[in-house]
Amino acid sequence: MGKADVAIVGTGPNGLAAAVVMARAGLQVELFEVHHEIGGGLRSAVLFDDDVTHDVCAAVHPMAVASRFFREFDLASRGVRFRQPEVSYAHPLPDGAAALAYRDLEATCARLGADGEPWRRMMTPLLARSSAVVDLVLSPQRALPRDLLGAVGFATRALTHGTRLGRRTLTTEGGRALLTGVAAHAVGRLPSLASGAIALLLGHLAHGSGWPLPEGGSSRVAEVLAADIAAHGGTFHTGQKIDDLRQLQGSKVVLFDTAPKGLLQAAGELLPTRYARHLSRFRHGPGAAKVDFLVNAPIPWRHSEVGLAGTVHLGGTRAQIEQRETLTAAGVAVPDPFVLVVDPAVADPTRAHDGKRPVWAYAHVPNESSLDPVAMVQAHIEHYAPGFSDTIIASRGIRASDYESYNPNYVGGDINGGAVTLRQSILRPAPRVDPYRTPLRGVYLCSASTPPGPGVHGMSGYLAARSALRREFGIRTAPSLAPGESDALVQGGK
C-alpha cells in the first residue's frame, strides 16, 4: 500500500483538488477514502425515492465558480451546469416581510428602502475587484496581497461589519438581517472580524458570480474532479481506512485531507511534541444538525418572493441572530437556532420528479449536540411557511454528534473544519510559515483545517499541493488545470 509518488488521505474537495494538481504534474497519485463513495462534503445520495437526489452535505456553491482553483479547472466546460436562482438568498423577517439578495444588485437596492444606497456603496467596490477579493480571502494569508487597494477596501469593510461599528451603516431591519444572515455562515460568535469577512465575501458574490447549485446535485463536482484524476493516471481506494502513517511509507509525499485529529491519530508519536500539542489544542466550532426532507410541493413561504431564492436564512432580526449564534458558540442550546434552508428544485428543475422534490436544511447547534433536529427544523420552517408540514412525505435527521461518523473531518458536527475565529483563520492548524507542511518530511495537511478554511473552493488542496511540488519534487510552476490541456508542465517544469 502507498507505493505511488503521492498518497492522499481523504477525497473531499481539497483532497481531490490536491490530486488534480499532483497528477497533472506527471506524478503517480493514489487516493484513500474510508467510505465507499468519494467526495466528502460533495456527496449526494438517494434517500427516500429512487428518482430524487439529496445533497448530504454542501448544496450551494458560491466558491465552486469563484475560487482560483475552480476558475482554472473550469467545471462548466467539463459538463457541470450551474443553476443560478433569481434570488441568491432570502431572509424572512418575523413581521412577515422579507429581505432579498437578488443576483441583480440594483434590484436588491431598490427593495431595501433606506438601506439601498448603503448596500450599493458596500458592495459595488467589492464587485469591481471581485476576483482580487476572492483571491485575497482564499489565500495562504502569509504574504502581501497583489491588489493592495482592493485589500484595504475589503479589510476596512470587514472591520466595520465585523464589529459594533456596523450598526451605524444599515438602519432597516431588512438590511441588517440580510447581512447578518450571511455573517452567520461563520458559525460562531457574532459580530466578529472573521464573520464580517465572510459576510462581505459571500455577500458580494451573491450579486456577482452568484450562489449556484450544480445541476443534478453536488456529487457532479466530485465526479468531474475524479474523472480528471483518473485520466492522468490517479487511482482510488475506497473503503480503505488509513489510521497509521506507516501504511503509506512507500510514498514520497502524503497529503492528509483530514482534520488535525485525523493526522494525530495516523502519525501519533512520530510527530514532534510541540506540533502535536498545537494540533491537539485546535479548536472546533459549533455543530450542524442536518435534516433532509422529501416533499410534494415547493415550500409555501408566507412571503412569496422568498420562493425565488436558492438559499433561505431563518434566524429573525439581526439582534436575534447575534444572540442565538453567540450562545450556540458558547455551547448553549437555544430553542430556535439559526437555520439554513435550500429547495434545490427552485433553481434546478431536474431535481423534482413526479411531484417529489428534496429540501435541505441545517441548524446551528453546540458542538457534539445530540439533539434530533427534525421536529425543531420542521417547526422553524413552518413558522415562515405555514403548510410546509403538510407537504412532507419523508424526513431524516443527522445529529451533530453523529456527523463525524459520516465524515471524520466534521468533528462534533463542525462542518467548517475548525472554529472560524480571526486568529485560527490565519494560524490554522498551527503557527507555521507554511501552514500545509508538517514537521515530518513529505507529510502535508490539506483540509479545511488549513488556510483559507471552509467552503467548497479546493484552495487548501491546491495550495498544499503547490507547496509539496516545490519542496519535495522541485517543481516551482504549477501544471495547467485547463480542460483539454496536456499534463505537461507549463514553462518551468521539473
pLDDT for 234-277, tens place per residue? Answer: 999 999 999 999 999 999 999 999 999 999 999 989 999 999 99
- Based on the number of CB atoms within 10 Å of its own CB, is 47 exposed (0-12), middle (13-18) or buried (19 or more)? middle
Contact (Cβ atoms closer than 8 angstroms) between residue 106 and residue 237 = no
CB 123: neighbour CB atoms within 10 A?
A: 22
* Residues in the chain where the model's pLDDT stays below 70: 2, 485-494
Closest CA to 438 of 260, 195, 238, 304: 260
* C-alpha cell at position 132: 482580487
Residue 143 has a pLDDT of: 79
pLDDT at position 2 = 65
User: CA 135 from chain center: how many Å?
Assistant: 15
Q: How far apart are CA 129 and CA 132, in angstroms?
A: 5
pLDDT at 492: 34
For residue 240, what pLDDT is reported?
Answer: 95
Q: Kindly state the percentage of the chain with pLDDT values over 90.
A: 89
Quick count: other Cβ atoms within 10 Å of Cβ 330?
11
Q: How far apart are CA 53 and CA 292, in angstroms?
A: 11
Distance CA 157, CA 124 (A): 12
Indicate yes or no: pTM above 0.85: yes
Distance CA 367, CA 105 (A): 36
